[in-house]
């Protein structure tokens, strides 16, 4: 079985429009390890924002194939504002959906992932025609100093990629309805943060 660091995932890097940010953007744009690069706006939920009070609003989002290949670059870019790395543990499904990727919604489960919960989650999400990809992931932070309060649900992150021609606000409401449908099954699933895609860089 592949080690966690060898797996694919996502990285959300705070974008400061400075020399370091531009240099990193150019490096990620040319990297064969990155199969998607975007400018995004992040909206943290009321549940997660107390843990990440130093977070940014604008991020560069990269989808990577192997974390080991991107780890060195992130270390050079380490700042006070955390970079969020999501290493994918399990891909629930991936499919073609009409429209372009325009929104990524992230959640956390309070009670981990048991088989029955996963079945219910996959069934509920698969019925939502805007969801093109769903993954369980593990969160880790890259920053100069650890946050004052450790986020207790790092190992139980759910990531949904959505494709839509509608507004980000409309897609966010669609995601919330999806979450509520799952919560009605007795699964405690909370919003973590959402990423509105502003521009595709690669």
pLDDT tens-digit map of 17-65: 888 889 999 999 999 999 999 999 999 999 998 898 878 899 999 999 9
pLDDT tens profile 101-117: 999 999 999 887 778 88
Q: Say how many CA atoms lie within 13 Å of 72 toward its Cβ.
A: 4
pLDDT at 3 over 50: no
- E strand or H helix at 115, and its extent? helix 115-126
pLDDT at 1 over 50: no
pLDDT tens profile 166-199: 899 999 999 999 999 999 999 999 999 999 999 9
Where b means 16+ CB within 10 Å and e means fewer, 58-72 reads ebbbbbbeebeebee
Give residue 87's pLDDT band: very low, low, confident or very high (50, 70, 90): very high
Instruction: State pTM to two decimals.
Output: 0.92
Where b means 16+ CB within 10 Å and e means fewer, 7-33 reads bbbbbbbbbeeeeebeebbeebeebeb
């Amino acid at each position: 079985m592949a080690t966690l660091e060898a797996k694919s995932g996502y990285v959300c890097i705070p974008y400061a429009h400075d020399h370091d940010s531009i240099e990193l953007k150019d490096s990620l744009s040319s990297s064969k390890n990155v199969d998607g690069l975007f400018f995004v706006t992040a909206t943290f939920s009321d549940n997660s924002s107390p843990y990440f009070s130093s977070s940014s609003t604008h991020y560069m989002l990269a989808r990577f194939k192997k974390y080991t290949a991107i780890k060195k670059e992130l270390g050079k870019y380490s700042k006070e504002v955390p970079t969020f790395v999501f290493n994918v543990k399990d891909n629930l499904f991936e499919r073609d959906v009409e429209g372009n990727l325009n929104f990524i919604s992230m959640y956390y489960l309070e009670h981990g992932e048991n088989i029955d919960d996963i079945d219910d989650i996959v069934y509920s999400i698969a019925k939502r025609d805007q969801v093109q990809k769903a993954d369980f992931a593990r969160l880790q932070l890259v920053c100069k100093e650890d946050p004052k309060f450790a986020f207790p649900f790092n190992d139980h992150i759910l990531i949904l990629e959505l494709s839509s021609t509608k507004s980000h606000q409309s897609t966010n409401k669609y995601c919330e309805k999806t979450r509520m449908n799952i919560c009605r099954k007795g699964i405690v699933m909370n919003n973590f943060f959402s990423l509105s895609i502003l521009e595709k860089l690669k």
